[in-house]
């Protein structure tokens, strides 16, 4: 089992959309894939045409001490989803309290799932530091920092690096992290320039950029994944390239750790 | 040879050079007697091998043994050692032939025989000299690598880029200027100058907009050389890089070339190859583009590397860097001849400065657009080289080492092939028409001596040049130009002051296929004469007039001439050329943006400064006239350009809308400025096999001739010959 955390310091960078599409890409290559929503917005389920529209998810299962697997949703494609769950404010606070008290909760629960060896788990997280982010970073084998190519994203880099250093880099089961620059638009000079600077700075940790593409919002609106909605689009192409890169990163990382 | 080889291996670029004819000092001092003895023994042995008389059977035996040895070496002994053995065999066979020729075949009994016979042997002597000089020149190509620059860019020198232009359209020059400005070099140490001898307002405005310096002068004296000299007076960079206005440099040009200068303070000039995106008239009209190495590949792929070993690679007018101080020391660019580039090199060599050649394409341009333009360019080169040979002969005068004298001399003598080539193309006619005996020897004896001479030289040259010039193609290239360069060369030898600089025309359009009768006439005449000669020979055979073996030898020779002349005639058949800007085949990731915000990921098939061809995935469709934006991206660079779909088929063509200077610059940085976009074809031609090449040339010369004769209506179908082979994978 490989766990990838999708993180960012700033909201609105496209983490959830990316998590959903990445999960689908992985599932397509034949890997058992689970996407887990750690974001109280409970938005990841919107990207999957979930067949069981029940309100329960991660929170209900944890608070009721039920196995997580019970709330896995079969989705429209091979990727399975564990939604956050539609919850009252009190339940959310209780859940977050549990997360703070048991720093290894996510890690242990994931191990307890006994997923196949080649399974991939994708963790979607809320923006900025939180108990969710701490849990995700402590549990993952790899992390993807999602950014927009703008000055605001650029300014958040030091904070993210501090968190990665604290929770990930010292662990022997952690492969590596990488940066994804999202919604790159070369027809806008500043956007293009910042993307350039970021890629130069990130070097080998730079994933292939995902370009601004109308196919992404259109796919969401029509309840499809980009790769299904418009397989010839730049965005579909980019997402495919990134998932391949991440798979390679995980395999190489596992090899070097062993 | 051994001494030269040993020393050459220690001759890394930039190290202080010692003359290659000076033995290494330690060897020189340690065993002078031994060396002298070895030299004497070798000389005596050589003389014996060359001069010992043999009867016909024995000489045939010699030929068989040497040919068998050559075949064995060709297949079994790789690398420079094998090349050396093949050269040794070839030199032996050829000198033996020439010794026999001079000592036993010139006993003429009438005046016509004497004149024609001596004419032929003179042409053969010329060919032998060129063959031997060629071996010296190319036996051990240096193939130097780039030298690193210091990490501290503060130590990097200042550079002026000169882009001289006279009458070329701005469309051709624009990309060169923008690419020159984009070269990776500290901005405060790089200045780009457009030297406009046309004094055109549109150029001035473009330079202002692009931020390049624009220089003009009041007259056009001494053409390009004068233009460059005028600019030298008004600038002060430590180095000068010169680009013909259609040679678009890559970003890396300066970083790859300047290191050598910092390592070797005596280095005055470094030349890089002239690479062409487009097909030259030979390649276009014979359909051999990227299949058979073109005329220039031998020079830039091998000859300059060979020259480099002897510190005699020379400046070719473009895609080169010169150090200003030595250049000014010889009075700037030479103005005495029309090949100012080579002459400038020679002058600096005489002052003891070093020359270098770096065989990595770092700029690319347009090949000549038509046969007449191509011939015009070669006439200028030939005339200029003959002028230098007359007024500043490399065999004489101060400052040069023997190797330099030989290499420079070969560069010049090489252009004297016009007359000898015409002699070879007409020699068998003297016998076939008039029965004149130019060899006073039996046919068997001629074969016994001539065959080893010819076949061994083919074997050696195929090994030395195979990657850069296929066997027998030399004959085609030379024959096409022979008639045209013959007269200017003779004129320049008589009076080197005659003759003007003619500008090479580039970037033209040929609307439809046509046969250039005016240019083709000399080869038509050669072809016709040789065909008549064959008729005469057959008549001689049937009527029993003349020794059968002599008739047969002349018939074979005449047939070979028919093939070569046939191929040459075909070069004058100008194939259609539609574009006046180069279109380069290259695969670059691209995205089409549609008006509704949707996208299509694809790849380029080719690019030019005015549009792109795109390979679409199956199922994608576009319509002509559709407005799109095209994003091109490579590594970290990307640009988005507006355009219109102009062509839909297996692939689509998009013509860019009017691009701003900034957009043109971005486009150039992703396309022309990146050598990996277009340099895949460099030095990757199929290696030569002499028989395969002979087949190609026969196919071209005879096949096309037959098609020309019998199917006059379908011009397209005639152009099959060698082009019919499947293309190599990297050139879709």
pLDDT of B30 over the 80 cut: no
Q: Residue B621's pLDDT is what?
A: 80
Share of chain A above pLDDT 70, in %: 94
Q: How many domains does chain B have?
A: 2
**Contact status, residue B87 vs residue B459, Cβ threshold 8 Å:** no
Nearest-CA distance B591 → chain A (Å): 6
Among candidate residues B721, B680, B683, the one with its CA nearest the CA of residue B704 = B721
Which residues in B lie closer than 8 A to residue A242 (C-beta atoms)?
none
Q: How far is B667 from chain A (nearest CA, A)?
A: 13
Both tokens of B168, joined, read 């070329």
Predicted local distance difference test score (pLDDT) of residue B67: 95
What is the CATH classification number for the domain harbouring B606? 2.40.10.220
Instruction: Name the residue among B347, B361, B371 with its Cα closest to residue B516.
Output: B371
Bridge-partner residues for B629, per DSSP? Answer: B593, B642
Question: What range does the domain containing B259 cover?
Answer: 153-368
| B405: enclosing H helix or E strand | helix B402-413
Cβ(B508)–Cβ(B499) under 8 Å?
no
Whole-angstrom distance between the N-terminal and C-terminal Cα of chain B? 44
Q: C-alpha A44: how far from its chain's center?
A: 10
Collapsing DSSP to helix, strand or coil, B21 comes out as coil
Q: Which residues pair with B249 in a beta bridge?
A: B363
Residues 179-238 of A with CB under 8 A from B: 186-187, 192, 195-196, 199-200, 211, 213-215, 218, 230, 232-238
Flag whether B478 is in a domain: no
Is residue B218 situated within a structural domain?
A: yes
> What is the bridge-based pairing of β-strands B267-271 and B320-323?
antiparallel
What CA–CA distances, in Å, run from A11 to A136, B7, B204?
17, 68, 50
Global ipTM: 0.80
Look at residues B642, B670, B698 and tell me which one is the last residue of a structural domain: B670
In whole angstroms, what is the distance from residue B167 CA to residue B245 CA?
Answer: 10
A132 vs B55: CA distance, rounded Å: 100
Which of these three, B670, B690, B722, is where a domain ends? B670
Distances (CA, A) of A123 to A27, A120, A250, B634: 15, 10, 15, 31
B661 pLDDT exceeds 80? yes
List of chain A residues whose C-beta atoms are within 8 Å of the C-beta of residue B597: 213-214
Backbone angles phi, psi at B157, to 5 degrees: -80, 170
Q: Is a pLDDT exceeding 50 seen at residue A256?
A: no
Helix (H) or strand (E) holding A180: strand A176-182
Question: In a mutagenesis test of the A interface, which of B597, B601, B637 is the best target, namely the one with the most A β-carbons within 10 Å?
Answer: B601
Q: Which CATH number fits domain A2-257: 3.40.190.170, 3.40.309.10, 3.10.20.90, 3.40.50.300?
A: 3.40.50.300
Which CATH number is B177's domain given?
3.90.550.10
pLDDT at B323 exceeding the cut of 70: yes
pLDDT, tens digit, for every residue of A136-174?
999 999 999 999 999 899 999 999 999 999 999 989 989
Is A186's CB within 8 Å of B639's CB?
A: yes
Q: Dump pLDDT digits (tens) for B696-706.
A: 888 888 887 77
User: Of B16-20, B42-46, B202-206, B502-506, which range is least confident?
Assistant: B16-20
Is A135 in CB contact (< 8 Å) with chain B? no
Question: What is the distance between the alpha carbons of residues A18 and A125, in angstroms, rounded to a whole number?
Answer: 12
Catalytic annotation present for B201: no
Q: Which residues of B47-60 are buried (b: 16+ CB within 10 A; e: fewer)?
A: eebbeeebeeeebb
The tokens for B614 are 């795109």
**Residue spans of beta strands (DSSP E) within B428-530:** 514-515
Q: What is the 8-class DSSP label of residue B457?
A: H
pLDDT in tens, A48-67: 865 556 778 899 999 988 88
pLDDT in tens, A197-213: 898 889 889 999 999 99
The segment with the largest mean pLDDT, out of B261-275, B519-533, B556-570, is: B261-275
Indicate if B308 belongs to the active site: no
Judge whether B279 lies within some domain: yes
Tokens of B435: 């029965």
Output Rg (C-alpha) for chain B, integer angstroms: 27
Give, in order, the Cα–Cα distances in Å from A241 to each of A149, A195, A244.
19, 17, 5
Dihedral of CA B16/B20/B23/B24: which sign?
positive
Nearest residue in chain B measured CA to CA from A240: B601
Rounded distance between C-alpha atoms, residue B202 and residue A178, angstroms: 49
Tokens representing B211? 């931020």
**CA of A84, closest CA in chain B: separation in Å?**
32
- Sequential DSSP letters for B361-412: --EEEPPBSSHHHHHHHHHHHHHHHHHHHHHS-TTSSSS--HHHHHHHHHHH
CA atoms within 13 A on the CB side of A16: 22
Helix (H) or strand (E) holding A123: strand A120-124
Report yes or no on B531 lying in a domain: no
Which residue's entry shows tokens 């200042």?
Answer: B158
CA dihedral (B258, B262, B263, B269) positive or negative? positive
In a domain, B703, yes or no: no
pLDDT at A77: 67
Residue-range domain boundaries for chain A = 2-257
Q: For B402-443, write each residue's pLDDT tens digit.
A: 999 999 999 999 999 999 999 999 999 999 998 888 888 888
Residues 6+ apart with CB under 8 A from B560: none
| pLDDT tens-digit map of B325-379 | 999 999 999 999 989 999 999 999 999 999 999 999 999 888 887 888 888 889 9
Percent of chain B, pLDDT > 70? 89
| B633 compared with B561, residue with greater pLDDT | B561
DSSP tag of B355: E
Summarize the confidence of residues B302-309 as an average pLDDT. 96
Q: How far apart are CA B667 and CA B208, in angstroms?
A: 20
Question: Cα–Cα–Cα angle for B381, B385, B387, nearest 5°?
Answer: 120
Which residues in A lie closer than 8 A to residue B636 (C-beta atoms)? 196, 199-200
Residues 6+ positions from B410 with CB-CB distance below 8 Å: B130, B133, B134, B136, B137
Q: Across the interface, do A237 and B601 touch by the CB < 8 Å criterion?
A: yes
3-class secondary-structure state, position B391: helix
Q: Is B293 a member of any domain?
A: yes
For residue B353, is it within any domain? yes
Name the pLDDT band for B727 (thresholds 50, 70, 90): very low
Give all strands (DSSP E) within B559-696, no chain letters.
Answer: 573-574, 584-585, 589-593, 599-607, 611-615, 627-634, 637-648, 651-656
Widest pairwise Cα distance in chain A: 52
Answer whether B216 touches A (CB < 8 Å). no
Give contacts of B598 with chain A, Cβ < 8 Å.
213-215, 218, 230, 233
CA distance A224 to B155: 58
Segment among A110-114, A122-126, B620-624 with least mean pLDDT: B620-624
Say if strands B514-515 and B267-271 run parallel, antiparallel, or are unpaired.
unpaired
Domain finish residue from B670, B694, B711: B670
């Amino acid at each position: 089992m490989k766990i990838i955390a999708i993180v960012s310091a700033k909201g609105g960078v496209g983490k959830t959309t990316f998590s959903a599409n990445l999960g689908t890409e992985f599932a397509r290559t034949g890997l058992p894939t689970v996407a887990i929503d750690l974001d109280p917005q409970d938005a990841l389920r919107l990207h999957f045409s979930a067949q069981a529209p029940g309100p329960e998810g991660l929170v209900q299962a944890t608070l009721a001490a039920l196995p997580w697997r019970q709330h896995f949703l079969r989705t429209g494609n091979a990727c399975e989803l564990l939604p956050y769950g539609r919850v009252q404010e009190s339940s959310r606070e209780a859940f977050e309290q549990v997360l703070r008290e048991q720093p290894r909760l996510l890690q242990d629960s994931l191990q307890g799932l006994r997923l196949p060896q080649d399974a991939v788990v994708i963790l979607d997280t809320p923006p900025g530091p939180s108990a969710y982010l701490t849990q995700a970073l402590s549990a993952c084998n790899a992390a993807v920092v999602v950014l927009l190519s703008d000055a605001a994203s650029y300014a958040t880099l030091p904070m993210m690096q501090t968190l990665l250093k604290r929770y990930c880099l010292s662990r022997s089961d952690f492969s590596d992290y990488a940066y994804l620059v999202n919604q790159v638009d070369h027809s806008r000079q500043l956007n293009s320039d910042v993307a350039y600077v970021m890629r130069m700075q990130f070097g080998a940790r730079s994933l292939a950029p995902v370009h601004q593409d109308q196919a992404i919002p259109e796919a969401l609106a029509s309840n499809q994944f980009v790769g299904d909605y418009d397989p010839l689009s730049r965005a579909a192409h980019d997402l495919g390239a990134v998932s391949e890169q991440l798979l390679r990163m995980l395999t190489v990382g596992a090899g070097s750790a062993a | 040879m051994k001494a030269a080889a040993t020393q050459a291996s220690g001759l890394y670029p930039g190290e202080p050079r010692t003359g290659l004819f000076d033995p290494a000092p330690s060897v020189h001092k340690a065993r002078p007697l031994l060396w002298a003895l070895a030299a004497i023994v070798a000389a005596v042995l050589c003389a014996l091998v060359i001069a010992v008389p043999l009867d016909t059977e024995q000489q045939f035996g010699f030929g068989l043994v040497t040919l068998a040895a050559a075949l064995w070496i060709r297949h079994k002994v790789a690398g420079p050692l094998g090349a050396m053995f093949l050269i040794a065999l070839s030199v032996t066979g050829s000198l033996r032939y020439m010794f026999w020729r001079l000592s036993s075949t010139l006993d003429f009994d009438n005046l016509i025989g004497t004149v024609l016979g001596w004419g032929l042997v003179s042409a053969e002597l010329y060919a032998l000299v060129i063959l031997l000089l060629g071996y010296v020149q190319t036996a051990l190509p240096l193939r130097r690598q780039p030298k690193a620059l210091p990490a501290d860019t503060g130590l990097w020198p200042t550079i002026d880029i000169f882009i001289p232009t006279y009458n070329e359209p701005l469309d051709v020059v624009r990309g060169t200027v923008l690419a020159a400005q984009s070269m990776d070099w500290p901005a405060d140490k790089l200045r780009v100058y457009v030297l406009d001898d046309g004094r055109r307002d549109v150029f001035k405005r473009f330079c202002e907009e692009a931020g390049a310096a624009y220089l003009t002068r009041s007259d056009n004296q001494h053409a390009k050389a004068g233009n460059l000299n005028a600019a030298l007076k008004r600038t002060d960079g430590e180095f000068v890089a010169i680009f013909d206005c259609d040679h678009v440099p890559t970003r890396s040009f300066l970083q790859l070339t300047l290191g050598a200068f910092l390592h070797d303070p005596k280095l005055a000039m470094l030349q890089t190859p002239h690479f062409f995106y487009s097909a030259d008239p030979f390649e276009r009209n014979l359909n051999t583009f990227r299949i058979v190495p073109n005329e220039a590949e031998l020079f830039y792929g091998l000859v300059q590397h060979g020259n480099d070993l002897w510190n005699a690679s020379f400046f070719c007018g473009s895609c080169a860097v010169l150090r200003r101080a030595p250049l000014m020391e010889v009075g700037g660019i030479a103005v005495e001849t029309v090949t100012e580039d080579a002459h400038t090199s020679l002058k600096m060599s005489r002052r003891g400065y070093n020359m270098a050649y770096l065989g990595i394409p770092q700029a690319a341009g347009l090949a000549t657009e038509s046969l007449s333009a191509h011939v015009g360019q070669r006439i200028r080169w030939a005339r200029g080289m003959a002028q230098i040979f007359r007024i500043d002969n490399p065999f004489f005068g101060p400052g040069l080492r023997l190797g330099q004298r030989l290499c420079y001399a070969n560069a010049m003598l090489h252009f004297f092939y016009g007359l000898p080539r015409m002699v070879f193309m007409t020699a068998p006619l003297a016998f076939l028409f008039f029965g004149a005996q130019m060899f006073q020897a039996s046919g068997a004896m001629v074969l016994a001596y001539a065959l080893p001479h010819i076949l061994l030289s083919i074997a050696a040259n195929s090994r030395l040049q195979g990657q850069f010039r296929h066997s027998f193609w030399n004959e085609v290239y030379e024959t096409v130009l022979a008639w045209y360069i013959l007269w200017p060369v003779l004129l320049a030898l008589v009076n080197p002051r005659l003759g003007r600089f003619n500008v090479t025309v580039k970037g033209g359009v040929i609307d439809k296929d046509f046969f250039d009768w005016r240019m083709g006439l000399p080869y038509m005449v050669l072809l016709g004469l040789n065909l008549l000669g064959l008729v005469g020979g057959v008549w001689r055979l049937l009527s029993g007039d003349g020794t059968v073996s002599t008739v047969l030898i002349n018939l074979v020779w005449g047939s070979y001439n028919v093939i070569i002349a046939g191929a040459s005639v075909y070069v004058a058949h100008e194939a259609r050329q539609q574009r006046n800007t180069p279109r380069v085949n290259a695969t670059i990731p691209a995205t089409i943006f549609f008006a509704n915000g949707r996208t299509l990921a694809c790849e380029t098939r080719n690019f030019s400064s005015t549009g792109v061809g795109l390979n679409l995935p199956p199922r994608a469709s576009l319509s002509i006239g559709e407005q799109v934006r095209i994003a091109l991206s490579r590594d970290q660079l990307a640009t988005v350009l507006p355009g219109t779909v102009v062509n839909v088929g297996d692939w689509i063509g998009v013509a860019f809308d009017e691009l701003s200077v900034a957009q043109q610059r971005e486009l150039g940085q992703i396309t022309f400025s990146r050598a990996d976009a277009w340099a895949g074809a460099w030095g990757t031609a199929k290696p030569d096999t002499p028989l395969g090449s002979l087949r190609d040339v026969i196919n071209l010369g005879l096949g096309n001739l037959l098609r020309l004769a019998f199917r006059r209506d379908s011009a397209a179908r005639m152009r099959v010959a060698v082009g019919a082979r499947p293309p190599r994978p990297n050139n879709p």
